[in-house]
Amino acid sequence: MRSLFKLVVLATCLFGSLPSEAIPSKDCAYRVKERISPPRGWVKHGDAPADRKISLKFALPQSKFGELEKHLYEVSDPDHERYGQHLSKEEVEELVAPHPESLDTVNDWLASLGFTEEDIVRSSAQDWITIKIPISMAEQILHAKYHVWKHVESGDYIVRTTSYSLPETLHEHIELVQPTTMFGRFKPEKSNIFKATPLPDFPAASKSEGVISAASGVTVDASCNQIITITCLQQLYNAVGFTPSAKGNSVGITGYLEQFANMQDLQSFFADQRPDALNSSFEVVSVAGGLNNQSLAEAGDEANLDVQFAFGISHPISPTFFTTAGRPPFIPDLDEPADDDENEPYTTWLDFMLSHPNPPLAISTSYGDDEQTVPFSFAQRACAGFAQLGARGVSLMFSSGDGGVGDGDPDPATQTCITNDGRNLTKFIPGFPASCPFVTSVGGTSHIPEVAVSTFFSGGGFSNFFPRPSYQDKDVKAYLAKLPKGLYAGLFNPNGRAIPDVSAQSDLFKVFIGGRAFLIGGTSASSPSFTGFVALLNDVRLKAGKSPLGFLNPFLYSKGFAGLNDITSGNNAGCGTPGFNASKGWDPGNASFSAVTGLGTPNFGILKKLVLDSH
């Protein structure tokens, strides 16, 4: 393929150095497809290594996405007659398949460049095409110049371009190409503040001296104000004594960046907090060659936190951990070019999940980045992928971030709130994927009675990419109406999708990592915890012969709020402001939305009745 490619390139007009008699065909006219300003915080480090391989992914337009969205909302709306009638994998694929003309045009182009079907990997719905090629070749076919970029603060490296082009005739048939302009790092959303607190001698989760009352009327061990365990969450969220037993239920955790979930640590955790789960484990599924190193030295703090709490709460619901390949930080000085570590792991996981016949019914992801580090075209497309999983009956939870209204950085000293668009405007910085309207974003609380977390700050605010979905209209308009007039004008988009949707405890979680116990915090903790309870709710529905919950938000905003604990105090500081306030509902006993803690934290005892109200 390589040598053929060179010939073909010369025969077309990529370099504009054709014999004078050759008339450039229309296909030869390239036009810029996407151009960005070099994002803040990144500096050009050097040329990209020409021989290094990159997996270029081309997104073809999903011709009937509007129809898919309509189906999604119908099957997710508890008041609709189609509620719970999720689509099959084939039905979803039919709705996102590209138009045959797009497929033909792109196929012809790739063939003209010398690629054969063997060089091409296609997604199940044919809407993504991937080719793995050296960076030098990517530069030629995209008229792009890749560089190694360095992230100043973290020292991470990445290979990206700030602009790429496509032949004019392909613009309407290719929505986007990545990795090109995407500087998102999708880091774990975990606060570093408490990670450094190893607990001496594995103290057993102590039965406390007394009990405290949570707002919902339940009683909780007093020790839960120092250390959060599975028992604390079962008490606080009113699920004591509930044992799942339905067949066909499942729960999943995603892992990236070589974060490995350690089985031995899970046993230590179970021995400490969930003895009846001892000896049970989880399935590990490798995505695109993702590794699974079970050495204790390689145990990931994020991965261990996620599996220990999600699987600890939902035991014995069938658990899966997905380990997706891809390892930024890229190491630019490596003599031997590592193969393909430039991939963009997020859509890799989505492709895999969408081609899976049976995705887990509730999946938690604790990785994200500032919305503005992700090109709009990419955010839209990834968000459309989440909609497809929702239409198939999967509930997707994402942590809302740890930097309050600022960027995901929980440290106010290094937090930045300046736009990446070349204009350097000061603005609140929402997180992605939490800002996608087709996922459930989970913010953080702490203490009992619960308040919005303040040791780091629960990510919240308003998307600059996605408009407010109608399921949020009533609640978010009411919340906006209560904001002091003119406050934060210009700092946020009041018409944007508001985040988070819900919240859960997020600090002082006792987790076993590499053979030791740590206290760890972050919305990284709240998302898997909330997901554990969603899995329990799916159990309730499956046992009653009903469908799984699927995309949760229409249910949460129309009915579920009555089974959520309103969080009425705390705020999410950031960008040198106090951020937004948690707010008291006008309706005591019913949660009301705030851009800090969403609708609130789960009261399983009430939710398990509410989820049965709909067919």
Ligand X SMILES: *[C@@H]1O[C@H](CO)[C@@H](O)[C@H](O)[C@H]1NC(C)=O
Residues with a catalytic annotation lie at 302, 306, 524
**Residue choice 16, 484, 486, 545 for contact with ligand X (CB under 6 A):** 484
Stretch that binds ligand X, among 4-12, 171-179, 431-439, 479-487 (CB under 6 A): 479-487
Nearer to ligand X by Cβ, of 252 and 312: the residue is: 312
* CB closest to ligand X, residue no: 589
Contact between residue 34 and residue 160 where contact means Cβ atoms under 8 Å apart: no
Alpha-carbon distance values, 578 to 458, 519, 582 (Å)? 12, 26, 11
Smallest distance, ligand X to C-beta of residue 88, A:
33
Q: Which helix (H) or strand (E) holds 213?
A: strand 211-213
CA 567 to chain centre: 24
Nearer to ligand X by Cβ, of 65 and 260: the residue is: 260
Class of residue 225 by CB neighbours under 10 A (exposed 0-12, middle 13-18, buried 19+)? middle
CA-based R_g, the chain, Å? 24
**Residue choice 7, 66, 279, 613 for contact with ligand X (CB under 6 A):** 279
> Is 153 an interacting residue with respect to ligand X (CB under 6 A)?
no
Contact between residue 435 and residue 200 where contact means Cβ atoms under 8 Å apart: no
Nearer to ligand X by Cβ, of 33 and 427: the residue is: 427
What is d(CA 257, CA 186) in angstroms, rounded to the nearest whole number? 9
Q: Six-digit token pair at 587?
A: 């309706």
Nearer to ligand X by Cβ, of 203 and 589: the residue is: 589
> In the beta sheet, which residues pair with residue 362?
251, 395
Stretch that binds ligand X, among 89-97, 116-124, 139-147, 585-593 (CB under 6 A): 585-593
Q: Six-digit token pair at 575?
A: 């960008």
**Residue choice 246, 543, 590, 606 for contact with ligand X (CB under 6 A):** 590
Residue 463 one-letter amino acid:
S
List phi, psi (to 5°) of 188.
-60, 140
Site size for ligand X, by CB under 6 A? 17
- Touching ligand X, residues 545-574 (CB under 6 A): 562
Smallest distance, ligand X to C-beta of residue 293, A:
4
Give the per-residue contact string, 420-439, with ligand X (x = CB under 6 A; - = no). Answer: ---xx---------------
> Is 278 an interacting residue with respect to ligand X (CB under 6 A)?
yes
Nearer to ligand X by Cβ, of 408 and 560: the residue is: 560
Strands 187-188 vs 120-122: parallel, antiparallel or unpaired: unpaired
Contact between residue 379 and residue 368 where contact means Cβ atoms under 8 Å apart: no
Stretch that binds ligand X, among 428-436, 527-535, 586-594, 599-607 (CB under 6 A): 586-594
Q: Which of 60, 52, 182, 180 is nearest to 122 (CA)?
A: 60
Smallest distance, ligand X to C-beta of residue 176, A:
26
Class of residue 353 by CB neighbours under 10 A (exposed 0-12, middle 13-18, buried 19+)? buried
Q: How far apart are the first and last CA of the chain?
A: 55
Length of the chain: 615
Q: Tokens 């992914």 map to which residue?
A: 57
Alpha-carbon distance values, 144 to 49, 105, 115, 138, 160 (Å)? 14, 21, 19, 8, 10
Q: Tokens 């930097």 map to which residue?
A: 403
> Is 419 an interacting residue with respect to ligand X (CB under 6 A)?
no
**Residue choice 25, 226, 293, 414 for contact with ligand X (CB under 6 A):** 293
Contact between residue 356 and residue 283 where contact means Cβ atoms under 8 Å apart: no
Nearer to ligand X by Cβ, of 246 and 418: the residue is: 418
Smallest distance, ligand X to C-beta of residue 101, A:
41
Count the neighbouring beta carbons within 10 Å of the beta carbon of residue 249.
23
Give the per-residue contact string, 373-412, with ligand X (x = CB under 6 A; - = no). Answer: ----------------------------------------
Q: Where are the beta strands (DSSP E) in 355-439?
A: 362-365, 367-370, 395-399, 431-432
Nearer to ligand X by Cβ, of 223 and 259: the residue is: 259
Smallest distance, ligand X to C-beta of residue 97, A:
39
Nearer to ligand X by Cβ, of 199 and 562: the residue is: 562
**Residue choice 11, 587, 609, 615 for contact with ligand X (CB under 6 A):** 587
Nearer to ligand X by Cβ, of 114 and 443: the residue is: 443
What is d(CA 405, CA 418) in angstroms, rounded to the nearest whole number? 12
Contact between residue 515 and residue 264 where contact means Cβ atoms under 8 Å apart: yes
> Is 295 an interacting residue with respect to ligand X (CB under 6 A)?
yes
Stretch that binds ligand X, among 157-165, 294-302, 395-403, 502-510 (CB under 6 A): 294-302
Stretch that binds ligand X, among 55-63, 80-88, 210-218, 583-591 (CB under 6 A): 583-591
Rama region for 582: left / alpha / beta (φ>0; ψ in -120 to 50; rest): beta
Stretch that binds ligand X, among 109-117, 188-196, 291-299, 436-444 (CB under 6 A): 291-299
**Residue choice 74, 94, 119, 298 for contact with ligand X (CB under 6 A):** 298
Smallest distance, ligand X to C-beta of residue 45, A:
16
> Is 589 an interacting residue with respect to ligand X (CB under 6 A)?
yes
Smallest distance, ligand X to C-beta of residue 12, A:
38
Binding site for ligand X (CB under 6 A): 278-279, 293, 295, 297-298, 423-424, 483-484, 487, 562, 580-581, 587, 589-590
